[in-house]
Chains A and B, each alone.
Chain A
Amino acid sequence: MTMPFYSSVDQLLRDRSELARKGISRGRSVVVLTYSGGVLFVAENRGRALRKVSEIYDRIGFAAVGRYNEFETLRNAGIRMADVRGYSYDRRDVTGRMLANFYAQVLGSAFVDQPKPYEVELCLAAVGGDSDSDELYRVTYDGSITDEPQFVVMGGTTEPISAKLKETYRAGLDLPAAVAVAVEGLQSGMPNGTPAADRLLGVSALEVAVLDRSRPRRTFRRIEGAALRELLPEENRSVDAPASSGVAGGDDVPAGGGAGDGDQPRS
């Protein structure tokens, strides 16, 4: 590709940041937080098939927002890397820090080298032997990596959700309390003007999983259906929007916002 006009590096990076940020904020949000028994992932996801939360290894889980095909590639890469590493050495030698660094390298180099940066934001969580050794890493589109002590909010409009979680989150919550905190957080992120009936998230609108410290080897476990309903706050249990309500699963929109008309938030 030829570069006919000079554009400053600064401007180039700003354009790329803007593209990535726009792509990420279009989707629905994901909350990851630590609770007394491990790590909890709660995503607003109307589909059953396209997942935002996944198992990577025995004690490591992954959550992502943004373009589905891109974070699916990254998820597969993480699973491959973890399995190759665990197979060549030992299962204990696969750590959350190693994978978080891997993702930071991939996103960071794509941000400057590739024609288009990844429009994704990731959270890599690792559950430890006790609640002090749980790890949450946030990796953003440009490869920045941060180690979050309590919770991570990604995708969609994050500010109201983060603000809400700052108020309600406490260390050492049990699982139902942690689910309530996360779901209430997600509900506070709905755009103004959402009808009151749609503000409550029921079983069919949530994707919930945990890294359960007490499980022996593979700690990742999805919580679905009746088991999830029991964990939800009282008022959310009866909410069950039918899958036929016309809302597509997944958050994907055409690349580049479908030639300019994709600037409206989708949810």
Chain B
Amino acid sequence: MEFGSPVTPAGIGAYLAPGPSSFTDFVTANAPHLLPGRTGDAGRPPAAAPGPRGGGHTLDVPHGTTIVALTFSGGVVIAGDRRATSGNVIAQRDIEKVFITDSHSAVGIAGSAGIAIQMVRLFSVELEHYEKLEGVPLSLDGKSNKLASMVQQNLGAAMQGFVVVPLFVGYDTEKEPAQAGRIVTYDATGGRYDEWLGYHSVGSGSVFAKSSLKKLHDPSADLAATVRTAVEALYDAADDDTATGGPDLVRRIFPVVVSITGDDGAVRRSDEEIEAVVREVVTGRTERPGG
């Protein structure tokens, strides 16, 4: 790797030449060293890095844990706990793993936090770049397919143990509000799956969160009830999975919850609102620990 490689493309000409509407394609052609997992030569992932499963020693990097997503009558809600773990250690108590990627979509991440955050950052720029160049945003399926190709790009790193599993949610502005909330999941190879049942969860606590959602999810519920269901599911995940952080009332660290509706677009719910919901859930669990 050359450390002296320029940060911006070689010349003004690259900007002026006719080119793709995709930010990733433009950067791949002109400044590949800026892309995640690239070291400047031909887009290969760093080959020598021994992964947790490959080499003789482990590389302990932070991992994100549980994300839940569920649809409701007005759109879709996505929520994530705040813990990142590295082996048995809590790497960060207040990491944010749910990101608003444009006016009507959001992504939650589980897996290698570093790679995942870079991927989401690139994905957000990609969506905005396309929207600005073309004057219209990508369709919801266009966005989710783009994310699939970015997950697939990471396959080399995933083989070494640095798996990234995003959970994509969006509001399809071309559909009726009751059908507009969409959830799309991915596997490490870039496989893309629509979740038509209306709820899903990824990460280490997802088994418990999904069981909880199976019982509680109501597609015809309103926003407030749906936020409550999401917080309940995260509580259940944290209850049984050590890597998932429960609500931290001492430090006032609460789950990140994003709602996407037709009128307001993607909105991060305020800490005050979530704190009130969390306190209700905790009070409920004090009386009945099983929820």
Contacts and interface: CB of A to CB of B under 8 A. Distances in A.
Contacts of B135: 51, 54
Interface string B1-41: 00000011100100110110001001100110010000000
Given A84-B31, A87-B125, A79 B12 contact: no
B246 to A, nearest CB: 30
Q: How large is the interface on A (under 10, 10 to 19, 20 to 34, 35 or more residues)?
A: 20 to 34
Given A80-B15, A80-B26, A106-B12, A87 B122 contact: yes
B144 to A, nearest CB: 21
Interface in A52-70: 54-56
A56 B128 CA distance: 10
Contact of B16 (A73, A83, A218): A73
Contact of A88 (B8, B18, B133): B8
B8 A79 contact: no
Contacts of A102: 12
A105 interface: yes
B129 interface: yes
B121 interface: yes
Nearest to A58: B128
Interface string A215-226: 000100000000
Nearest to B33: A88
A30 to B, nearest CB: 17
B57 interface: no
Interface residues of B, number: 22
A241 interface: no
Interface in B96-144: 121-122, 125, 128-129, 132-133, 135
A54 B132 contact: yes
A106 B16 contact: yes
A23 to B, nearest CB: 19
Given A73-B16, A106-B16, A84 B9 contact: yes
Interface in B33-70: 34
B267 to A, nearest CB: 11
Nearest to A85: B8
A83 B15 contact: no
Given A56-B132, A83-B125, A84-B8, A77 B16 contact: yes
A129 B8 CA distance: 28
A81 B34 contact: no
A86 interface: yes
Given A51-B135, A79-B132, A87 B15 contact: no
B133 A87 contact: no
Contacts of B15: 76-78, 80-81
A87 B27 contact: yes
A74 B133 CA distance: 11
Interface string A40-59: 00000000000100111000
B23 A83 contact: yes
Contacts of A56: 132
Nearest to B31: A84
B255 to A, nearest CB: 22
A105 B13 CA distance: 11
B133 A79 contact: yes
Nearest to B21: A76
A77 B175 CA distance: 34
22 contacts: A54-B135, A74-B16, A77-B12, A77-B15, A79-B129, A79-B132, A80-B15, A80-B23, A80-B129, A81-B8, A83-B128, A83-B132, A84-B8, A84-B26, A84-B27, A84-B30, A84-B34, A87-B121, A87-B122, A88-B8, A88-B31, A105-B12
